[in-house]
Amino acid sequence: MGKNLNIIKFNFFKELAYPYELIGFLLRKLIAFGFLILFWQILSSGNSQTFDFNLILSYFLISQAVTDLTFTNDVRFGREIQKLIKSGQISNYFIKPINSIKLLFLSFIGERTSIFVYSLITLSIGVYLIKSLSLDNILLFLISIAFATITGVALNLIIGTIGFYSPEASSIQNMFNHMNRIFSGILIPLDYFPGVLKTIVSYSFFPILAYYPTTILQRGNQNNQVQEIFLISTFWSIFLLIIALAWWKKSVKEYEGVGV
């Protein structure tokens, strides 16, 4: 445990060495979130019966926090792995006396500590705006967060592993990001999707990353839907994690980087 904490602390202090980059990143998030809320505020003001602005504001605060806390916001963990592979620095992780995935993951957590703190603040504000919140909602939300984290880490690892095979893997990452923003509910809650499209998307892994945890916290187990959501989440989290770990192991064996 002490070694793991030291890795996180080291990378946290490394992040603080570049405060302007951190400030710029936070400003970018705040500006993007501000425009998103402005868009929905305009919609809600024109049709208050369909759009409850406080509920929408709570939804986006929580969903944005969920994607940051579960590593799915722009799959930044996967992008960092791609950069390390492209630069050859990934070899330094393979020669360390610790599991390479664990080392990469702990390093990333350390570098993102301040973002996690920011996300906890936005999550708290979003929770505060919920009119009625029960203990059951919170417990179900924590379970859904666990599924989102496993699914998110697996997807990041899959995206990162592509870097072993293509020097332009970032284009695939960008394509995934665009799909993720739409189908996970980050930009538009699935409630406003057309019926057939909503049904198709609801059985994919995308809603696990933002929509399901957020709506579970806001609504609880309405119409006994949580059992079905957890079955879908169990399947995708286990399936994607097995695929990610197997592909990573195979790719590392075939990697011919200097120093391995």
Is residue 259, in this structure, part of any structural domain at all?
no
Give the mean model confidence (pLDDT) for residues 58-73.
89
Is residue 240, in this structure, part of any structural domain at all?
yes
Domain with 75 in it: 2-254
pLDDT (0 to 100) of residue 1: 58
**pLDDT tens sequence across 163-197:** 888 777 778 888 898 899 899 998 888 988 988 99
Question: Is the pLDDT reported for residue 260 higher than 50?
Answer: no
pLDDT (0 to 100) of residue 197: 92
Under the banding of pLDDT at 50, 70 and 90, the label for residue 15 is low
Give the mean model confidence (pLDDT) for residues 214-226.
85
Question: What are the angstrom distances between the C-alpha of 172 and each of 39, 89, 176, 245?
Answer: 28, 21, 6, 19
Is residue 205, in this structure, part of any structural domain at all?
yes
Is residue 174, in this structure, part of any structural domain at all?
yes
pLDDT (0 to 100) of residue 259: 46
Query: pTM (2 decimals)?
Result: 0.85
Is residue 219, in this structure, part of any structural domain at all?
yes
C-beta of residue 119 within 8 angstroms of C-beta of residue 64: yes
Q: What is the DSSP string of 197-238?
A: HHHHHHTSSGGGGTHHHHHHHHH-SGGG-HHHHHHHHHHHHH
Of the listed ranges 23-37, 129-143, 199-213, 221-235, the least confidently predicted one is 23-37
Rounded CA gap, 99 and 103, in Å?
6
Give the mean model confidence (pLDDT) for residues 6-12.
64
Q: 188's torsion region: left (phi>0), alpha (psi -120 to 50) or beta? A: beta
Question: What are the angstrom distances between the C-alpha of 178 and each of 103, 168, 187, 193, 214?
Answer: 28, 17, 10, 16, 20
Q: Which two tokens stand for residue 122?
A: 């936005």
**pLDDT tens sequence across 71-109:** 888 888 888 888 888 888 888 888 877 788 888 888 888
Is residue 260, in this structure, part of any structural domain at all?
no
Question: Is the pLDDT reported for residue 258 higher than 60?
Answer: no
pLDDT (0 to 100) of residue 230: 95
Of the listed ranges 16-20, 159-163, 220-224, the least confidently predicted one is 16-20
Is residue 71, in this structure, part of any structural domain at all?
yes
C-beta of residue 188 within 8 angstroms of C-beta of residue 214: no
Closest CA to 76 of 152, 185, 15, 171: 152
Under the banding of pLDDT at 50, 70 and 90, the label for residue 158 is very high
Mean pLDDT of the chain: 84
Is residue 199, in this structure, part of any structural domain at all?
yes
C-beta of residue 65 within 8 angstroms of C-beta of residue 128: no
Report how many domains make up the chain. Answer: 1
What percentage of residues in the chain have a pLDDT greater than 70?
Answer: 87
> With DSSP H G I counted as helix, E B as strand and the rest as coil, what are the percentages for the chain, rounded to 5?
80, 0, 20
